[in-house]
Amino acid sequence: MKKAVFPGSFDPITLGHVDVIKRALPLFDELIIAIGINDTKKYRFSLKERLSFIEKTFEHVPNLKVETYTGLTTEFCKEVNADFLLRGLRNPADFEFEKAIAITNRRLTGIDTVFLLTSADTSFISSSIVRDLLKHGGDLSQFAPKAVIDGSK
């Protein structure tokens, strides 16, 4: 059974995340969306809201789970017996940043990272852009799934 973990803060989940998740689903028997909890980070949405956004977006997907974790992502991967980490890449800067982490994770734990490039039509979307649109009352329809739009009102 091939199991992957897609970690992130998902504050909030965006259509870029959704794109990567949908394209990753056929690659793995199980995909765990893992919301990392960092007590030093200030989030726009509560953990409960972020969980709800993802669960509602993927409510009819049987091989997808949503979980939360603290600590090292690789330790969480070991706890859930994941074989792979999944990461989305929007641009070359993402690759350079993620490459060093992937090499470290592989060296320390043997867990491989699978990279998927975001689609051209979502490669510019980030959670910070969505949060900024929310702050200023912008239209989220091209940036965030319906669950985020409905939950932000």
Token pair of 142 as six digits: 């091209």
Q: Return the amino acid letter for 68.
A: T
Q: Select from 144, 148, 122, 112 the least CA-distant residue to 5.
A: 112
Could you confirm whether 90 is annotated as catalytic?
A: yes
Pick the catalytic residue from 23, 56, 65, 90: 90
Residues tagged in the binding site annotation: 9-10, 17, 41, 73, 87-90, 98, 122-128
pLDDT in tens, 57-114: 999 999 999 999 999 999 999 999 999 999 999 988 889 999 999 999 999 899 999 9
**CB 11, CB 127: distance < 8 Å:** yes
Pick the catalytic residue from 41, 48, 60, 135: 41
Residues tagged in the binding site annotation for substrate: 9, 41, 73, 87
**Is pLDDT above 90 for 153?**
no
- What is the pLDDT of the chain when averaged over all its residues? 95
Q: What percent of the chain has pLDDT over 90?
A: 92
**Is pLDDT above 90 for 49?**
yes
pLDDT at 41: 87
Distance CA(106)–CA(74), nearest Å, equals 9
**Is pLDDT above 90 for 33?**
yes
pLDDT at 135: 92
Could you confirm whether 41 is annotated as catalytic?
A: yes
CATH 3.30.300.30 fits 3-151, yes or no: no
What are the domain boundaries of the chain? Answer: 3-151
pLDDT at 152: 85
Kindly state the average pLDDT of the residues 122-136.
94
Could you confirm whether 106 is annotated as catalytic?
A: no
Distance CA(108)–CA(127), nearest Å, equals 29
Token pair of 61 as six digits: 């997907």
Distances (CA, A) of 72 to 30, 38, 79, 83, 112: 20, 11, 11, 15, 15
pLDDT at 61: 97
Residues tagged in the binding site annotation for ATP: 9-10, 17, 88-90, 98, 122-128
Could you confirm whether 17 is annotated as catalytic?
A: yes
Q: Select from 9, 111, 137, 146 the least CA-distant residue to 69.
A: 9
pLDDT at 26: 97
